[in-house]
Amino acid sequence: MTLTRPVCLFADRASLDRGDMDVSKIESLTRFDSRDALPAGSLASAAADAEILIVNKIPIGAEELAALPRLRLLCVIATGVNNIDLDAARAAGVPVVNVRDYAAAAVSQHAFMLMLALSTRFRDYQRDIENGRWQAQPLFCLLDHPICELAGKTLGLIGYGHIARAVERIGLAFGMEVLIARSLRPDAEQRPGRVDLESLLRGSDVVSLHCPLSEHSHHLIGEEQLRLMKADALLINTARGGIIDEPALLKALQRGWIGGAGLDCLEQEPPANDNPVIQARLSNLIITPHNAWGAREARQRLVDGTAENIRRFLAGESLPNRVA
């Protein structure tokens, strides 16, 4: 452990802390400062003295790294690192670490919330009650919107990290069969028992996305893939918006190629007011504001995981979460 605590800046703290996070572990290790959200172009001046920089979604490339000559460690307070130019970080000699397996419980329950809301037509029935339709009819129940059980259905997982495994466990508890897609990376060793993407899309009643956004997964689900899916299949995305081609998805939902979709992320975030997917207001589409990971417990694990990365770095220990 260094004798002098290094200067540490958390550059976009408001992206995860709404006054309910305990950052004392980071404060005990560093001379800690934070900003809710730095204005564009102000990172270099705000972090001029920073030896450790914590970011969530702020883009960091060669230009930003060149402007921070004192930087010794870049902490991504998230799992996804698609906002970081990892090659530039390697060239600058700045280690990049992220935090893994902090949100499996939160995201898996959110994924099933979307599945359940779509399969039970929850929003449609809530709207019926709000509009007085249940109250105005003679029968004790409403059955106007078809409901389906998840038991006996096939759940297809694309990506098989901590979150996907948690989704798998819940799916098995619901009595679902599970298919796992082969790795999207062409150089990856393919594990036995996994299926190709086309077979998974054709055979699944629910397809749930859990892969990182990369050159291999960008617009992975487009018109061709959506046409392969069952007409009543559900598509769930709690990963990254860019994995789905949004105009193709909108067409698929409007034309009945698939049964419904639940999205916790869009390609542009925050989305524009005139985003066609949002403006469509389809009954078979649920969109949540990229908050599947946002349970207080998960966010605290994220903060504590970042503190542990900093502690290990300062102690000269190996960095198991190092990505560059």
Q: What pLDDT, in 10s, does the model give residues 232-245?
A: 999 999 999 999 99
pLDDT in tens, 200-209: 999 999 999 9
CA-based nearest residue to 125, from 142, 109, 108: 142
For the record, the structure tokens of 203 come out as 């055979």
CA-based nearest residue to 70, from 90, 84, 53, 86: 53
Question: For position 89, which CATH number holds?
Answer: 3.40.50.720
Regarding whether 259 and 208 lie in a shared domain, the answer is yes
Q: Evaluate whether residue 218 is within a structural domain.
A: yes
- Fill in the DSSP letter of residue 13: G
Q: What is the pLDDT of residue 2?
A: 46
**Phi then psi for 172, rounded to 5 degrees?**
-65, -35
pLDDT in tens, 281-298: 999 999 999 999 999 999
Task: Establish whether 269 is a catalytic residue.
Answer: yes
Instruction: Name the active-site residue from 13, 240, 299, 301.
Output: 240
Regarding whether 125 and 220 lie in a shared domain, the answer is yes
pLDDT in tens, 95-137: 999 999 999 999 999 999 999 999 999 999 999 999 999 999 9
pLDDT of 187 strictly over 90: no
What span, in angstroms and rounded, lies between the C-alpha atoms of 55 and 52? 10
What span, in angstroms and rounded, lies between the C-alpha atoms of 42 and 13? 15
Regarding whether 84 and 183 lie in a shared domain, the answer is no
- pLDDT tier at 3, thresholds 50, 70, 90: low
What span, in angstroms and rounded, lies between the C-alpha atoms of 156 and 177? 8
Task: Establish whether 240 is a catalytic residue.
Answer: yes
Q: What is the pLDDT of residue 190?
A: 84
Give percent above pLDDT 70 in the chain: 99
What span, in angstroms and rounded, lies between the C-alpha atoms of 157 and 321? 24
pLDDT of 74 strictly over 60: yes
Q: Evaluate whether residue 1 is within a structural domain.
A: no
CA-based nearest residue to 181, from 163, 162, 201: 201
Q: Evaluate whether residue 319 is within a structural domain.
A: no
The total number of structural domains in the chain stands at 2
pLDDT of 188 strictly over 80: no
In one letter, which amino acid is 234? L
* Burial class of 110 by CB neighbour count within 10 A (0 to 12, 13 to 18, 19+): buried
What span, in angstroms and rounded, lies between the C-alpha atoms of 263 and 114? 8
What span, in angstroms and rounded, lies between the C-alpha atoms of 133 and 321? 53
Residue 245, CA distances (Å) to 64, 220, 232, 272 in order: 30, 8, 19, 16
Q: What is the pLDDT of residue 139?
A: 94
Average pLDDT over residues 38-53: 94
Regarding whether 73 and 50 lie in a shared domain, the answer is yes
- Fill in the DSSP letter of residue 152: T
- 145 vs 80: which has the higher pLDDT: 145
Regarding whether 149 and 269 lie in a shared domain, the answer is yes
Q: Average per-residue pLDDT in the chain?
A: 95
CA-based nearest residue to 73, from 98, 43, 52, 97: 52
pLDDT of 1 strictly over 60: no
Q: Evaluate whether residue 320 is within a structural domain.
A: no
Please report how many Cα atoms fall inside a 13 Å half-sphere around the Cα of residue 319, on the Cβ side: 22
Q: What is the pLDDT of residue 135?
A: 96
Q: Evaluate whether residue 55 is within a structural domain.
A: yes
Instruction: Name the active-site residue from 63, 269, 297, 317.
Output: 269
Instruction: Name the active-site residue from 110, 290, 299, 301.
Output: 290
Chain-centre distance for alpha carbon 234: 18
Regarding whether 235 and 129 lie in a shared domain, the answer is yes
Regarding whether 108 and 42 lie in a shared domain, the answer is no
Q: Which residues contact 227 (CB under 8 A, 6 or more apart)?
A: 252, 257
Regarding whether 182 and 304 lie in a shared domain, the answer is no
Q: Evaluate whether residue 193 is within a structural domain.
A: yes
Domain range for 273: 104-287
Q: Evaluate whether residue 2 is within a structural domain.
A: no
